[in-house]
Structure 1
């Protein structure tokens, strides 16, 4: 660590990892690429959407402002999960028509994307378990400093609740970034990678029974958890460009 570097910068490592909004604020300015990981369900929705040929516009607020934003951008607004149409449910996007512009309100994942784009000059990607391998392989040959951000969830008081599914998704991205002969991971990134390697063969069970997954199953959205637990089934590269995630893989 150099004398001018802050202790939390994970200086000297090619792959760095930190949680949530504070992680983005403090570490994104030193990164060339930032990967937002919100497995249940923002990042998984982005993967499914761009894989269908859609452009996904993340939006921070789930209120009347979202409808105004969608109208201004000629886009379809994702609604509530229970409404039956496109929503923050990956299963609801499986038949999204190619060319759709979809506004996806997400106070957590979308906020992190906005902070990453506004607070740094880094390229911003979204990753989940489904496309972790593709995103990691793409980034490791193009960027020297990559920040991986597991989003986590929120406690009722608004504070960060580290979420196992995001730790595992981030670990999957780190694993792809670091091999073969890839970027060097910080201890924080190594920890996420170790968790992923310990549990990757049990992902469906782990996601179904962890706190966030159990909540979705109880609410009737078990299919969303099943989709989110699929590992490396997608080659999508969701890149935030002009306020919308598009598939950099073409």
Structure 2
């Protein structure tokens, strides 16, 4: 009980351990992976696509895509059967009805580890809509910033963009905030006037820009431009509108 923030309505904790601590006592979970899983899911589902998260980036995803009769996105690299990837730009024009498997060791992995708890994908683009939709399930809301992974040992790297994204969503929620949730809101408030500028300067943003994906950072920094709420239904994110 020390780590579950149970005395607060609005909770925030990082990654898989955050889900492990908060899921069972929360009415709904919001996964926040701004660069780029959640942004990619928001854009694709807003176009009417159905997105299947998959936690592994290995050959097993090929068989999984076949099993759900879906196309396969890449992690901006191998094993793709389409032009789609974790790059939000790649799904900007995805046709309605497209079934797409999206491998990701962060956002997808977390999405598939929430059990039976209603699960939403949130980002800066849809923060207000996600917050309003989350309250449909109750007042006990867990916001999970995904973070990134250090390449040296695969340990969690708390990521600026996910803290800001979590804070943006929490700022629209109603209820008493845990200290962990409050610090996310405070961080968002401190940087909200130049989200694009700071996303370009943070470590994850600089990494994407160096690899030629600056337009992805620009899409991810768009604030409150969407009323699309991706809801996980039978292991796939589908569009809800609030």
**TM norm structure 1:** 0.92
Superposed CA deviations along residues 150-201 of structure 1, whole A, max 9, x for unmatched, are 0000112011000000000000010011xxxx22211110110010011001
- The whole-number CA distance in structure 2 between the counterparts of 1:155 and 1:196 is 24
How many pairs were matched up?
238
Runs of 4+ in 1 over 4 A off after TM superposition: none
Give the superposed CA RMSD.
Answer: 1.3
In the alignment, what sits opposite 1:95? 93
For 1:173, which of 166, 169, 172 is the aligned residue? 169
Structure 1 residues 163, 80: closer, same or farther in 2, change over 3 A?
Answer: closer
Q: How does 1:229-248 map to 2 (within 5 A)?
A: 229-248=221-240
Check the 8 A contact 1:32/1:145 in 2, yes or no: yes
Moved more, 36-45 or 135-144: 135-144
What's the secondary structure of 1:8's corresponding residue?
coil
Note if 1:28 corresponds to 2:14.
no
What's the secondary structure of 1:36's corresponding residue?
strand
Note if 1:136 corresponds to 2:131.
yes
Superposed CA deviations along residues 34-64 of structure 1, whole A, max 9, x for unmatched, are 0000000000000001000000000001111
In the alignment, what sits opposite 1:68? 63
**TM norm structure 2:** 0.95
Q: How does 1:4-83 map to 2 (within 5 A)?
A: 6-81=1-76
Mark the runs of 5 or more structure 1 residues left unpaired by the alignment. 1-5
- The whole-number CA distance in structure 2 between the counterparts of 1:142 and 1:25 is 19
